[in-house]
């Protein structure tokens, strides 16, 4: 970092703004400087209670791992997959470096670039598009990922490709739309204000003009998983609590085993990926109209939990251990052997677990009288082919939910590790 | 009402829940009863701090006018247009009556029907889809409207059609998609939690199975207008404050003149519409990528306000009066004569004003590398043909914004007045 804060508190007092930056630990100096820049360009907000710099809703941008993975799941998401439209390796690397600066600024509640909305003067296009000008950081995280296609022959990255970064195989029942699948790059922007998430994606796309082009994009309005123990478990569009048994940020050893790529996984040219994680995205259309006409017991048997509490069938509380031996009054297992929670459980998958971080979506209507609603599944894992693929194979073969869902989009991305104080995206990849 | 509260406070104490209901004025008794029903079906939430009945985030459902018009604009919206798919007048009327009960319950933070998520027993489909089970009322409003096509020869309503309820004419530059336009009915659900808004629409659609079918649907993630004086003016996807000069809930006389249909407007068979308002919906795609490359001064000249503060050009503060006589240093008007705020100003339109209540949207990507983003314009007014049509004609002819926007959807609906204590939707129309 170019400057060191003496302490978060003194820095806060010094600037008169930047409380959010101050509590953000590693990013304090940088975030505070950005906040000060922003404030000086906009005196009206410098003292305001709603100023982005006066809240503690900021997630550190830099660290061992990227934020947006084990960060407590925010309520809203904008996810975008991009294609690189240039053949110019240097232009791509430069854009990633510029994105890093912009992403760090925006996660600190500042404008995308120092000129901001109005600081660049009347005769230039603003350096920030402005729709989040009055909004605070809103726990924004911006997470980047690289798709398998980025490592083709265009940019000389073939020898940097991790073995595990391969397109997913097809699964029984897939109905994938190529226009909602794949991509050279992805950006996952999560925030508690959707306008902040959209603003982040839009400004990065704007900065990438001539280098990248939007391939597909997905908004999610409600998180479907908790990623820390103190979050209330949310509900998906089937009305069930989702993510009760998810991996959580507190599960340090399990995260190392199931989420973070270990050095031994990525020898040689792919060593840049150690500390990263693979992101699997699946757009799952839910046929909610059919589901909504299904009796409660059948819904619960398909899921394996009760709908009110979210308790495993045969148990009382949401967090009671899944017990596949418990029998119901009829002598059969209380949780049907092919229930969703059984098929996806580690005990049936040689111990496989993943970190889920998906969102509910509704994308208008489908043209035949129904809402186009569902779950945008996002899972983070150490190796998609060792974890997501066997899990999805089991589900695709037997899950009773398949009568009600359809996978309409699919992608896998390598999310590199977090950034040190002076690092930028693409640095390790292009060096 | 079937029961009268002795007073809001005692009712609150009596029930131990229902604080939201208690503060909601006219709906207190009904809302409280619903909350109690919900609580008894779900003991776990009855004492919880996040219980829908323990907050004051409830908007009264009944009253002189429908809620969702001058109600302080909530942050999120789900709007749906529906076609009636039956020829059965009685089935349509029955659905509207059932919708009334469900809408009143949901705006009070309760489940869509008394059986709720789990109260109907294991062998029936749940009466509520469940995804909002743990969420509070979130200021939900549900506003209904009737399209011109509802008054064709199918349901015997031709003589009930208000003269003003006619499809809008075409405008220069329109690029309307029939799949995003029109509809026999509409539901506007607004809330501060998008999952609550989506839940409301989804449950009404579910209840209407066999009677109505979704024609189109639009989610909005950020309000673009204030409708009360104490709301901060939000920003649209062009990064400008939007709605500064909007009509506000406090403008009683102006609302009577510009928003609420007066008895003299609707003689004879259309008298049911007195106290209602016409809703104009326009899906406005914004070509944000082009806008984002436009210099700041050009953006400001097109809008007529500065981008940072939102002040009229040549003035200092956002709420300074628009002054078209003020000249800049070059001797020309500070606000260009064809600026958006000038063209849309009442002084240029024979005093015409409307109440705007639109939302920002981003609907994925457009297939050619851009985000499909824009503004879902919603305006409420006394007569769309006397107000929106001349305003839009002026804008379509001269507005510099036309280079950056495209109207891709259009609809007009007659939103009937609010409901008295025992009334239900369609009652006055079908009687």
Complex-level ipTM = 0.89
pLDDT score, position B401: 96
Q: What is the mean pLDDT of residues B375-392?
A: 98
- B166 and B49 Cβ atoms separated by less than 8 Å: no
Which residues does chain A have within 8 Å of residue B235's beta carbon, measured at their own beta carbons? 130-134, 195
> How would residue A55 be classed by pLDDT, with cut points 50, 70 and 90?
low
CA distance B146 to chain A (A): 18
Q: Which residues face B218 on adjacent strands? A: B79
Alpha carbons B232 and B236: distance in angstroms, whole number: 13
H or E element at residue B365: strand B359-365
Alpha carbons A278 and A161: distance in angstroms, whole number: 13
Please enumerate in sequence order all residues whose Cβ is within 8 A of that of B43, keeping only pairs 6 or more positions apart, or say none.
none
pLDDT score, position B56: 76
Among B181, B214, B220, B404, which would you mutate to test the A interface (most chain A Cβ atoms within 10 Å of its Cβ)?
A: B214
Of B195, B216, B373, the CB nearest to A360: B195
Among B210, B285, B364, which would you mutate to test the A interface (most chain A Cβ atoms within 10 Å of its Cβ)?
A: B364
Alpha carbons A248 and A232: distance in angstroms, whole number: 12
B26 or B319, which is more confident?
Answer: B319
Q: What is the mean pLDDT of residues A141-161?
A: 98
Q: Which residues face B361 on adjacent strands? A: B374
Please enumerate in sequence order all residues whose Cβ is within 8 A of that of A283, keeping only pairs 6 or more positions apart, or say none.
A180, A218, A361, A374, A376, A377, A407, A408, A409, A410
pLDDT score, position B249: 93
| A306 has pLDDT over 90 | yes
Residue B261: other Cβ atoms inside 10 A: 25
- The rounded radius of gyration (Å) of the Cα atoms in chain B is 22
| A193 has pLDDT over 90 | yes
- pLDDT mean across residues, chain B: 88
Q: Are strands B359-365 and A405-415 parallel, antiparallel or unpaired?
A: unpaired
A230 or A424, which is more confident?
Answer: A424
Q: Do A239 and B124 touch (CB under 8 A)?
A: no
* Structure tokens, B188: 């506007």
| B2 has pLDDT over 80 | no
Alpha carbons A141 and A106: distance in angstroms, whole number: 9
CA B417 to the chain's CA centroid = 14
> From residue A160, how far is each of A216, A264, A428 by CA, in Å?
25, 15, 10
| B283 has pLDDT over 90 | yes
Q: Find the residue in A nearest to B192 (Cα).
A: A193
Q: What are the tens digits of pLDDT across the range B131-162?
A: 999 999 999 999 999 999 999 999 999 999 99
Please enumerate in sequence order all residues whose Cβ is within 8 A of that of B377, keeping only pairs 6 or more positions apart, or say none.
B280, B281, B282, B283, B284, B356, B358
Q: Do B371 and A202 touch (CB under 8 A)?
A: yes
> From residue B47, how far is each of A233, B117, B396 by CA, in Å?
18, 19, 55
CA distance A291 to chain B (A): 9
CA A57 to the chain's CA centroid = 17
| B12 has pLDDT over 60 | no
CA B2 to the chain's CA centroid = 29
| B38 has pLDDT over 60 | no
pLDDT score, position A56: 75
Query: Quick one: CA dihedral B68, B69, B72, B76, positive or negative?
Result: positive
Please enumerate in sequence order all residues whose Cβ is within 8 A of that of B234, keeping only pairs 6 or more positions apart, or say none.
A134, B222, B223, B224, B225, B226, B241, B242, B243
> From residue B289, how far is each of A129, A197, B372 by CA, in Å?
10, 17, 10
Q: Do B201 and A371 touch (CB under 8 A)?
A: yes
Q: Do A126 and B239 touch (CB under 8 A)?
A: yes
Task: Please state at what angle helix A28-41 crosses helix A8-15, rounded to 10 degrees.
Answer: 10
> From residue A309, how far is each of A112, A314, A324, B29, B210 by CA, in Å?
43, 12, 18, 28, 31
Using DSSP's 3-state secondary structure scheme, residue A206 falls into: helix
Alpha carbons B306 and B371: distance in angstroms, whole number: 25
Q: Which residues of A11-29 are buried (b: 16+ CB within 10 A; e: fewer)?
A: bbeebebbbbbbbbebbbb
Please enumerate in sequence order all residues whose Cβ is within 8 A of that of A224, keeping only pairs 6 or more positions apart, or say none.
A234, A235, A236, A242, A243, A356, A358, A359, A360, A375
Q: Find the residue in A nearest to B316 (Cα).
A: A44
| A414 has pLDDT over 60 | yes
pLDDT score, position B381: 98
pLDDT score, position B431: 87
Apex CA B358: angle with CA B354 and CA B237, to 5°? Answer: 125
Q: Find the residue in A nearest to B309 (Cα).
A: A44
pLDDT over 90, % of chain A: 85
pLDDT score, position A46: 30
Q: Which residues face A77 on adjacent strands? A: A190, A220
Q: Do A131 and B236 touch (CB under 8 A)?
A: yes
Q: What is the mean pLDDT of residues B331-348?
A: 95
Separate counts of helices (H) and strands (E) for chain A: 12, 10
Which residues does chain A have within 8 Å of residue B306's beta carbon, measured at their own beta carbons? 118
Of A124, A132, A214, the CB nearest to B371: A214
| B11 has pLDDT over 60 | no
Among B222, B243, B329, which would you mutate to test the A interface (most chain A Cβ atoms within 10 Å of its Cβ)?
A: B222
Query: Quick one: CA dihedral A388, A393, A399, A402, positive or negative?
Result: positive
Alpha carbons A399 and A412: distance in angstroms, whole number: 22
pLDDT score, position A431: 87
Q: What are the tens digits of pLDDT across the range A274-284?
A: 999 999 999 99
Separate counts of helices (H) and strands (E) for chain B: 12, 10
- DSSP codes of every residue in B147-210: -GGGGSTTTT-GGG--TT--PPPP-TT----GGGS--SEEEEEEESSHHHHHHHHHHHHHHTTT
pLDDT score, position A7: 32
Q: Quick one: B158 exposed, middle or buried, by C-beta within 10 A (0-12, 13-18, 19+)? A: exposed
- Domain ranges in chain B are 76-429
Strand residue runs (E) in B204-246: 212-220, 222-223
Q: Which residues face B144 on adjacent strands? A: B187
* Structure tokens, B181: 């336009």
* DSSP tag of B241: B
- The count of residues in chain B is 431
| A249 has pLDDT over 80 | yes
Q: Which residues of B25-57 are buried (b: 16+ CB within 10 A; e: fewer)?
A: ebbbbbbbbbbbbbbebbeebbeeeebbbbbeb
Q: Do B239 and A131 touch (CB under 8 A)?
A: yes
Among B77, B131, B211, B314, which would you mutate to test the A interface (most chain A Cβ atoms within 10 Å of its Cβ)?
A: B131
Q: What is the mean pLDDT of residues B292-321?
A: 96
Q: Do A194 and B222 touch (CB under 8 A)?
A: yes
Alpha carbons A213 and B369: distance in angstroms, whole number: 5
Q: What is the mean pLDDT of residues B323-346?
A: 94
Using DSSP's 3-state secondary structure scheme, residue A354 falls into: coil
Q: Are strands B359-365 and B76-84 parallel, antiparallel or unpaired?
A: unpaired
Q: Do B221 and A360 touch (CB under 8 A)?
A: no
> How would residue B329 be classed by pLDDT, with cut points 50, 70 and 90?
confident
B199 or A52, which is more confident?
Answer: B199
């Amino acid at each position: 970092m170019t400057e060191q804060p003496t302490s978060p508190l003194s820095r806060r007092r010094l600037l008169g703004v930047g409380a959010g930056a101050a509590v953000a630990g590693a990013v304090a100096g940088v975030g505070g400087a950005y906040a000060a820049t922003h404030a000086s360009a906009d005196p009206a907000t410098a003292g305001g209670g709603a100023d982005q710099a006066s809240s503690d809703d900021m997630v550190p941008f830099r660290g061992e791992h990227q934020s947006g993975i084990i960060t407590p799941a925010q309520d809203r998401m904008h996810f975008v997959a991009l294609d690189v439209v240039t053949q110019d390796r240097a232009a791509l690397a430069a854009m990633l470096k510029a994105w890093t600066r912009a992403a760090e600024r925006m996660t600190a509640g500042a404008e995308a670039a120092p000129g901001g909305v109005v600081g660049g003067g009347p005769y230039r296009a603003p350096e920030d598009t402005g729709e989040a000008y009055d909004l605070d950081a809103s726990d924004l995280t911006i997470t980047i990922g690289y798709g398998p296609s980025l490592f083709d022959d265009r940019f000389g990255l073939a020898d940097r490709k991790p073995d595990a970064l391969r397109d997913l195989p097809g699964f029984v029942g897939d109905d994938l739309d190529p226009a909602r699948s794949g991509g050279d790059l992805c950006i996952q922007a999560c925030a508690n204000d959707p306008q902040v998430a959209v603003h982040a994606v839009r400004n990065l796309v704007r900065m990438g003009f001539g280098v990248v082009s939007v391939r597909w994009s997905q908004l999610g309005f409600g998180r479907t998983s908790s990623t820390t123990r103190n979050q209330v478990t949310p509900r998906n569009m089937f009305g069930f609590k989702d993510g009760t048994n998810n991996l959580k940020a507190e599960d340090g050893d399990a995260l190392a085993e199931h989420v973070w790529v270990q050095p031994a996984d990525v020898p040689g040219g792919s060593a840049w990926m150690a500390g990263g994680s693979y992101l699997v995205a699946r757009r799952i259309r839910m046929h909610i109209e059919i589901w909504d006409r299904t009796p409660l017991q059948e819904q619960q048997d398909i899921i394996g939990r009760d709908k009110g509490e979210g308790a495993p069938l045969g148990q009382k509380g949401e967090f009671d251990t899944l017990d596949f031996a418990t029998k119901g009054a009829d002598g059969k297992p209380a949780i049907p052997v092919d229930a969703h929670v059984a098929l996806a459980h580690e005990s049936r998958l040689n111990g496989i677990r993943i970190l889920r971080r998906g969102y509910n979506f509704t994308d208008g209507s489908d043209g035949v009288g129904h809402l186009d609603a569902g779950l945008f599944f996002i899972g983070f894992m150490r190796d998609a082919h060792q974890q997501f693929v066997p899990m999805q194979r089991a589900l695709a073969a037997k899950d009773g939910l398949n009568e009600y869902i359809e996978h309409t989009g699919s992608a896998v991305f390598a999310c590199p590790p977090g950034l040190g104080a002076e690092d930028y995206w693409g640095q390790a990849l292009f060096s």
